[in-house]
Structure 1
Amino acid sequence: MSETADVIVVGGGIAGIGAAAMLSGDAKVIVLETEDAPGRHSTGRSAAIFIRNYGNAVLRSLNAASAPFLESPEILDLTSVLSPRGELLVAGEEDLPELEAYLDGAVGIERMTPEQAVELVPILRKELLVAAAYEPDAQDIDVDRLFQGYIRYLRHNGGTIATKAPVEALSRDNGVWTVTAGGDTYQAPIVVNASGAWADVLAGLAGLSPIGIQPMRRTAAILPAPEIEGFDRWPLFAAASEEWYAKPEAGTLMVSPADEDPVDPHDAWADDMVLAEGLYRFEQAVNYPVTRVERSWAGLRSFAPDRSPVVGFDPRCDGFFWLAGQGGYGIQTAPALSTLAADLCLGRDCGLDAETVSALSPGRFLS
């Protein structure tokens, strides 16, 4: 079977699906997904929270640009996908430099005393704290509603998603890419590389040297909830040193070691030793013994060398578009990056400022 389109998007996570949806109003789009359904990897394993001050300056700009869409995704026929949560960062004496670095340039965040921090999260060990900071505007994201909204919009506009379609070969001739995937052939003048941890692998199939997208494993576990009134209203709470974080999750407590172990692209699973060490660090910070892990999992967060996303046409090869390196920010920046990708692919004016667009360009690694 052979199909043609204006744009082929490789990768059915929220990056690829979001970009495809935003393209679909003005272009024929086909999404190629290796798994039997979209969203099987990082998208389905997200901590699912919007934190405006999370990430470097480029990412904070993308967070701000994404917020209005997340609050009112009317184009997807959805109401807000956000709900109140808050984020509390806590620091001992040794963590103060990390806390100060986070606060540098942050907006909408307030310093707190250890006493105030413990009022918000009663299981914290007050004697270990010297400072804290609270971002009240941090909010939970209903990732599935957002993701399914993008899928419905894509299909409504005539876009298609081919599953069980791993890309096997890429070639370009006379201005058209030919992609062999899952035994079928697809052709389009533009290929969008939204393949997450496999972004450099896909580039290699296209004959391009890698940019340096590095997958990092992130592990999480579900614990029984503390039997404390008001638990569901606790904020996400985390060590400023990023040694662990935790948040209420549907009547349970989700805890992550905040690990970033470099790995090859694969379907990630939890490493028992990494999880045990992380839960130990968490347990030392709280008055709450870890007696049982109900379940655990891992996902891959893929970073470019400067930890900013890579979005734009590759200057070495016509029609090859990067949408990769979102790290741990892929869900909350998806609205801004999906719109930007569509605008750049179709030659439209971009809503983002030129400085941010330049900071995302793959050309920054190729000069």
Structure 2
Amino acid sequence: MPDKVDIVIVGAGMAGASLAAMVAPHASVLVIEGEDQPGYHATGRSAAFWEETYGGPGVFPLTAASGPYLRDGGFLSFRGAMNIGREADRAKVEAFVARFARLGAEIELLDRAAMERHVPWLREDWTCASWEPSCSDIDVGALHAHFLAEAKGQGAGIRVRSRLVAAERGAGGWTLTLADGARLGCDVLVDAAGAWADDIARIAGAAPLGIVPLRRTVVQLRTEPAATDTLPLTLDINGGFYFKPESGRVWLSPHDETPSAPCDAAPEELDVAVAVERLQGVVDWRIEAVERKWAGLRSFAPDRLPVYGFDARVPGFFWCAGQGGFGIQTAPAASALAAGLLLNRNFAIADGIDPAAYAPARFG
């Protein structure tokens, strides 16, 4: 019989690391990661912001509940966010503000003069915006390292270069086989594999949920005038772009969502060109150079909400997947919710969050 623990978590990105940190004080845990280091894929390529409205009303409870943990832990620095629109978008912007104000978000409408104060050289056809003063940059590296350290400090094991290739369920629990031939045993197998979530489900004999990886491109630009630290996160109310300052440069995304096989994602030149073109339609800045470009995979379930809970048909198989682009900003509350479901206990940070909204059983 292979060495056995209570719980094996597949994936050492933000989802797997945060869940391990929550669970390790109460159960024996091993996190297995196929790459050479934890957080190589989506976690290491994030645009790194916390915005209450990002992900929509269904994600809002997880984001809002995570805010105090992130802020009190020193992982956030205030940035502010504007979702901007043209005059034809005014009703959409007003509805956006009203919807999230009802949910309790700190949000208001801005007039053109206020928009210009936040983003100088904003082109004149952008006339309306929402404003979220609580939007903050996230120190993703520090947060991920924090969760890994918490997990290890509570006795969890972290094993890299350990790709899962087989999983068999028997009377005594799971027997797992890794690519190097090593075998492990556990009672519960957790799928926190990001873009590979459906692949891990197939290995375990569970039906895939239709979790699709979508490629997102980010470029770093040098501009004239240079980006100042006071610029907010600025997003298109129609989802065409977002940009923010980063150490005197601009981080820009065309908000692309191109379906992709699970892989080590790389940017396409067309997406880079589209991003630059869209920015030129927003601000009157001269783009002097594209200094860096990268891409990551954001993985979504069919309804674009994350999936937390035991599989409806395969005993001992637990989903922690489909976090889309909001897995980092929701990690504290999401991991507490998932840990509560795993251990059948309550974690205060997740109080009031309905787990049924994220249960895999919602897909039948």
Q: TM-score, normalised by structure 2?
A: 0.94
Q: Tell me if structure 1 keeps the 8 A contact 2:206–2:311.
A: no
User: Which of residues 351, 358, 361 in structure 1 aligns to 2:359?
Assistant: 361
C-alpha separation in 2, matches of 1:15 and 1:175: 27
Code of the residue aligned with 1:111 in structure 2: it is L
Q: Tell me if structure 2 keeps the 8 A contact 1:6–1:28.
A: yes
Please list every run of 5 or more consecutive structure 2 residues that lacks an aligned counterpart in the other structure: none
**What residue is the counterpart of 1:81 in the other structure?**
75
C-alpha separation in 2, matches of 1:271 and 1:93: 32
Q: Tell me if structure 1 keeps the 8 A contact 2:223–2:286.
A: no
- Deviations along 1:221-258, one digit per CA (max 9) or x if unpaired, are 00114435x81111111211111111011221111111
Deviation at residue 359 of structure 1 after TM alignment = 0.5
1:344 aligns with 2:337: no
**What residue is the counterpart of 1:270 in the other structure?**
267
C-alpha separation in 2, matches of 1:316 and 1:96: 46
CA gap 1:98/1:195 in 2 versus in 1, 3 angstroms: farther
Q: Tell me if structure 1 keeps the 8 A contact 2:223–2:287.
A: no
Please list every run of 5 or more consecutive structure 1 residues that lacks an aligned counterpart in the other structure: 74-79
**What residue is the counterpart of 2:257 in the other structure?**
260
Over the residues paired in the alignment, what is the CA RMSD in angstroms? 1.6
**What residue is the counterpart of 2:212 in the other structure?**
214
C-alpha separation in 2, matches of 1:4 and 1:355: 32
Q: Tell me if structure 2 keeps the 8 A contact 1:192–1:321.
A: yes
C-alpha separation in 2, matches of 1:87 and 1:95: 17
Deviation at residue 344 of structure 1 after TM alignment = 1.1
- Secondary structure at 1:274's aligned position in 2? helix
User: Which of residues 243, 247, 266 in structure 1 aligns to 2:244?
Assistant: 247
**What residue is the counterpart of 1:38 in the other structure?**
38
**What residue is the counterpart of 1:306 in the other structure?**
303
1:49 aligns with 2:49: yes
- Deviations along 1:50-105, one digit per CA (max 9) or x if unpaired, are 101222222101111111211224xxxxxx21111000111113433542453242
Q: Tell me if structure 2 keeps the 8 A contact 1:165–1:181.
A: yes
- Secondary structure at 2:38's aligned position in 1? coil
The number of residues matched between the two structures is 358
Code of the residue aligned with 1:283 in structure 2: it is Q
Deviation at residue 208 of structure 1 after TM alignment = 1.6
1:321 aligns with 2:318: yes
Deviation at residue 150 of structure 1 after TM alignment = 0.7
C-alpha separation in 2, matches of 1:123 and 1:180: 57
1:331 aligns with 2:328: yes
1:143 aligns with 2:131: no
C-alpha separation in 2, matches of 1:102 and 1:297: 30
C-alpha separation in 2, matches of 1:354 and 1:119: 38
Q: Tell me if structure 2 keeps the 8 A contact 1:32–1:181.
A: no
Q: Choose 86-95 or 259-268, whichever is displaced more.
A: 86-95
C-alpha separation in 2, matches of 1:199 and 1:101: 35
- Secondary structure at 1:130's aligned position in 2? strand
**What residue is the counterpart of 1:236 in the other structure?**
233
1:290 aligns with 2:287: yes
Give the % identical residues: 42
- Secondary structure at 2:59's aligned position in 1? helix
